[in-house]
Chain A
């Protein structure tokens, strides 16, 4: 089955700096890569996703890049703010029809210091 490795496990940045979280996956058939943000005590929420037919996707201050050859993808957050502090999870899936059975990384605790 799919295996997703996520690094780093913790990341501390100063407000305004950029943050980068990296993930690698094992199954070359995976073609869908979402990122979830989970605030303390809350449910995970989708923040951005990318499919294997594109290399980069941006949404305001967040972006995701995908390197299919190397089987890794990354989350980039620019101009970080204290409200970006949360646990971030990457995930991978081979989409079959409408089925997105996701395998998650172990998460990265991002702390943005004011």
Chain B
């Protein structure tokens, strides 16, 4: 039982490049979330999903897309990376007892 696994853990992108962050959970949770964490800003919700095949916008969705084709996986995509997207990205899945976070992805856009 691995919980919530994020890949990759670190990545450096050049401005304009694209990439996909993967979040995988093995707890059969319906609800999954993508947050970004920036110094002094706390955790801000990017997108979330309430079940397979569903996605919804959070507080800061611009520049990101998501997909939930399988219940266990929630993908976060950056189509054209910008320096403002330099951040630590956390995925979380949720059951009746709260959130379980992944270990995070540190993304730097240069």
Complex: how many Å from CA A49 to CA B94? 14
Cα–Cα distance between A105 and B44 once the two chains are bound (Å) = 9
Measured as residues with beta carbon below 8 angstroms from the partner, the interface class of chain A is 20 to 34
B-side contacts of A49, CB under 8 Å: 98
Chain B: interface secondary structure? strand
A62 → chain B closest CB, angstroms: 15
Contacting pair B45 A98 (CB below 8 A): no
B31:A104 contact, CB within 8 angstroms: no
Task: Decide yes or no whether A89 CB sits under 8 A from chain B.
Answer: yes
A89 touches B43 (CB 8 A): yes
Q: Would A1 and B40 count as touching, CB distance under 8 A?
A: no
Cross-chain pairs A/B with CB under 8 angstroms, 18 sampled? A6-B42, A34-B98, A42-B103, A43-B103, A43-B104, A44-B90, A44-B99, A46-B97, A89-B42, A99-B94, A100-B31, A100-B99, A101-B45, A102-B45, A102-B99, A103-B59, A104-B35, A106-B42
